[in-house]
Amino acid sequence: MYHQRYVCVNEPEHYTRSVLLPRADAMPLEAALANYETQGWARLGPVFDPDYLAALRERADRIMLGEIVHDGLFFQHDAATGRYDDLPRGLGWQGPSLRYRKIEKLEKDPVFRAVLENALFERIARARIDGGIVLYRAVLFTKAAAGGTELPWHQDGGSFWGLSRDPSLQIWSALDDTPVEAGCVEVIPGSHKHGLATPLGGVIPDDVAARHDAAARAVPLPAKAGECLLIHNHLWHRSGINRTGRPRRAFTVCLMSEAIRCTRRKRAARTFLPLFRRKGVTLG
């Protein structure tokens, strides 16, 4: 359910900070893109300016607390049990809380929007995607200090996504330190090469995961605040609960070709935000 409330327009912030660390936009990408191609994931290392990271963390908390509101955001709260199967569905905004598991459509927020159009992300996208580039989704995934929700093995594609062709590029950015005990991303390297486990996509059934010995093959990907990971949509990945007593927040964007179309029929077809058509994007 989308959060249909007023849009804040008189905010005190005036963000002019640089998104990236100096020279991060020009970092070599060959090795990372090669690893992404063969293993389905790659580590970029530190990317974001610490001051901008602090602004993103503050922004995330204020959005969850309802202090900054944008019409049309999608909210999903944590499950009280920490089990994915018990997640509340279709409830959307449930009042001020730092226990929202997921917030989508963050391209509506100017501070998160600037991350989408930074020069490094553009270089990565143009290396992987021919022609015009659009945004499929921009999502904040959080695991509250009190634990959060376990995310089972899944793939980000399939008929559930309602697209004419699955995207393949996601850029995952750690807003906080994300050690193993915070519920870091875990992957099965190379699993993207075998396509979808089920035509529907999404969560991989337990029997399929067991048949592929997924738990024994899992590789944890701990990250420091400001680091980015590239993740192929078909790569098997999961994350556990947060046991650190500190919030664990990550911002994920999925980029794709403008040639991909929404195929859903029950509602009006989605349109997707074009990116990287303006030069010198800044905040202010």
pLDDT in tens, 133-189: 999 999 999 999 988 999 999 999 999 999 999 999 999 999 999 999 999 999 999
Strand partners, 274: 134
* Helices first, then strands: H and E counts in the chain: 6, 14
Give the pLDDT score at 2: 34
Q: Residue 75: which of 67, 87, 84 has the closest Cα?
A: 87
Q: At what angle do helices 119-128 and 30-39 cross, to 10 degrees?
A: 50
Q: Look at residue 268 and tell me whether its pLDDT is greater than 50.
A: yes
Q: Is residue 24 part of a domain?
A: no
Give the pLDDT score at 42: 98
Over range 239-251, report the average pLDDT: 96
Q: Is residue 113 part of a domain?
A: yes
- How many angstroms separate the CA atoms of 45 and 223, rounded? 8
Q: Is residue 102 part of a domain?
A: yes
Q: Is residue 284 part of a domain?
A: no
User: The domain spanning residue 107 has which CATH number?
Assistant: 2.60.120.620
Total tally of structural domains belonging to the chain: 1
| Surface-to-core class of residue 131, CB atoms within 10 Å of its CB (0-12 exposed, 13-18 middle, 19+ buried) | exposed
Q: Is residue 142 part of a domain?
A: yes
Question: Left (φ > 0), alpha (ψ -120 to 50) or beta: where does 27 sit?
Answer: beta
- How many angstroms separate the CA atoms of 135 and 107, rounded? 9
pTM of the model: 0.90
The least confident of 6-10, 50-54, 56-60 is 6-10
Give the pLDDT score at 256: 98
Question: Left (φ > 0), alpha (ψ -120 to 50) or beta: where does 232 sit?
Answer: beta
Helix (H, G, I), strand (E, B) or coil at 36: helix
Q: Is residue 282 part of a domain?
A: no
Give the pLDDT score at 278: 60
Give the domain extent around 137: 2-7+29-275
Give the pLDDT score at 198: 96
Q: Is residue 14 part of a domain?
A: no
Q: Is residue 19 part of a domain?
A: no
Q: Residue 252: which of 174, 167, 153 has the closest Cα?
A: 174
Q: Which residues contact 275 (CB under 8 A, 6 or more apart)?
A: 116, 117, 122, 125, 133, 134, 135, 255
